[in-house]
Amino acid sequence: MDTAIEKTLAEGLAQLKEVKTQVELDRFYAVYLAKKGAIAGLMGQMRSIPNEEKAAFGKAVNEAKSQLTNEYENKKQALEEEALSAKLQAEQIDLSLPGRGAGVGHQNPFRLIIDEVTDIFLDMGYEVVSGRDVETDLYNFELLNVPADHPARDMQDTFYLKGGKLLRTQTSAAQAHVMLERKGLTPIKMISPGKTYRRDDDDMTHSHQFAQIEGLVVDKNISLGNLKATLELFAKKMFGEKREIRLRSSYFPFTEPSVEVDVSCFACQGKGCSMCKGSGWIEILGAGMVNPKVLKMCGYDPDVWSGFAFGVGVERVAMLRYGIDDIRRFYADDFRFLSPFYAK
């Protein structure tokens, strides 16, 4: 064999032995086997070879080429196998590792309270009426005996919408809707849970958005005694069999008389603790006998019908029940806040 061919072949094989990466292999290909590589260079020398030696020279170059090509292919395959096994090694799965738990959605605690309260009143034969978040001044205020110049409006700073509507400040608006729908003809026994809105600065105990549950009973001969018995039953079911309630005189424009209702403290059994601020009693809701003016405006003859109403602050009950210290947590979308309630 021609010494130039021998030399190229020997060098090529030696270099290929040293190749350890795909980049090096590509470089080898470029130097020896590509169009402008060493083998092609040898073929190019054919012109200067005497005719009688051309065949032998060509054969020798081809042999060298096929030997280098073979070795190149072998190396290529070896590198590919190496890369694959390195990849498999890196991606090895440890089946003994403990799995990661999938996140599960939980109900917001105020939803739990609404469901619980709703169940208690459904058991007592109440119907559940859904109100509306966007209200008119008429239903949110006027029909509840809160005319435009009434000072009680100051306590319920309102979000007004374009076109004169507003976000309801109290679920009491549902009272007027139900009474007007029933046209003064049938008794009513309903609750209406839902969201309410006030222009409050948010802090630990105030939120511009919160939820209430409204209750309304209208029938013949309804008395304050009925209200008290109903709320006592509710308090016992909600806060425990041993609970007592007390009514304190209060004022709401839509009830007369109006009361604030306290429940005996379930943390200290009425002895006095930080939860009840030492008094043994915790305020849970506002209530009263439906003001005859409201009955009349809403189509019920106050000489025939009487009724009671109450309004419960949902977050307040949830805070007491679950020991939540800040009302803003209800609306913070923090999964950690929701998780303890999952077990309930």
Sole window of 75-83, 123-131, 280-288, 331-339 interacting with ligand DAH (rule: CB under 6 A)? 280-288
Q: Which is nearer to ligand DAH, 72 or 310 (CB)?
A: 310
Residue nearest to ligand DAH (CB): 311
Q: Which of 28, 143, 188, 214 binds ligand DAH (CB under 6 A)?
A: 214
Element (H, E) at 168: none
Sole window of 55-63, 88-96, 157-165, 305-313 interacting with ligand DAH (rule: CB under 6 A)? 305-313
Find the radius of gyration of the CA atoms of the chain. 43
CA 251, CA 288: separation in Å to the nearest integer?
9
Sole window of 44-52, 88-96, 218-226, 308-316 interacting with ligand DAH (rule: CB under 6 A)? 308-316
SS3 148: coil
288 binds ligand DAH, rule: CB under 6 A: yes
For the bound state, the minimum distance from the C-beta of residue 104 to ligand DAH, rounded and expressed in Å, comes to 34
C-alpha dist (Å) from residue 277 to 263, 268, 272, 308, 317? 13, 11, 7, 29, 16
287 binds ligand DAH, rule: CB under 6 A: yes
Which of the residues 144 through 183 are near ligand DAH (CB under 6 A)? 170, 172
CA 300, CA 290: separation in Å to the nearest integer?
11
287 and 213 Cβ atoms separated by less than 8 Å: no
For the bound state, the minimum distance from the C-beta of residue 289 to ligand DAH, rounded and expressed in Å, comes to 8
For the bound state, the minimum distance from the C-beta of residue 102 to ligand DAH, rounded and expressed in Å, comes to 40
Q: Which is nearer to ligand DAH, 32 or 139 (CB)?
A: 139
Binding residues for ligand DAH, how many (CB under 6 A)? 11
CA 269, CA 256: separation in Å to the nearest integer?
31
Residues near 43 by beta carbon (within 8 Å), at least 6 away in sequence? 58, 61
Sheet of 255-264: strand order equals: 127-128, 188-197, 209-219, 306-313, 281-290, 255-264, 245-252
286 binds ligand DAH, rule: CB under 6 A: yes
291 binds ligand DAH, rule: CB under 6 A: no
Q: Which of 114, 222, 309, 318 binds ligand DAH (CB under 6 A)?
A: 309
Sole window of 20-28, 78-86, 267-275, 303-311 interacting with ligand DAH (rule: CB under 6 A)? 303-311
For the bound state, the minimum distance from the C-beta of residue 268 to ligand DAH, rounded and expressed in Å, comes to 27
310 binds ligand DAH, rule: CB under 6 A: yes
CA 143, CA 197: separation in Å to the nearest integer?
19
Q: Which of 311, 319, 329, 330 binds ligand DAH (CB under 6 A)?
A: 311
255 binds ligand DAH, rule: CB under 6 A: yes
Q: And the tokens for 314?
A: 């949902």
Q: How many CB atoms lie within 10 A of CB 175?
A: 29
Q: What is the DSSP string of 59-71?
A: HHHHHHHHHHHHH
Backbone angles phi, psi at 304, to 5 degrees: -105, -40
Q: What is the DSSP string of 39-54?
A: HHHHHHGGGGS-HHHH
Q: Which is nearer to ligand DAH, 60 or 190 (CB)?
A: 190
For the bound state, the minimum distance from the C-beta of residue 119 to ligand DAH, rounded and expressed in Å, comes to 20
For the bound state, the minimum distance from the C-beta of residue 137 to ligand DAH, rounded and expressed in Å, comes to 15
252 binds ligand DAH, rule: CB under 6 A: yes
Q: Which is nearer to ligand DAH, 60 or 211 (CB)?
A: 211
Q: Which amino acid, residue 94?
A: D
CA 118, CA 138: separation in Å to the nearest integer?
27
Query: Which residues of this protein are in contact with ligand DAH, per CB under 6 A?
Result: 170, 172, 214, 252, 255, 286-288, 309-311
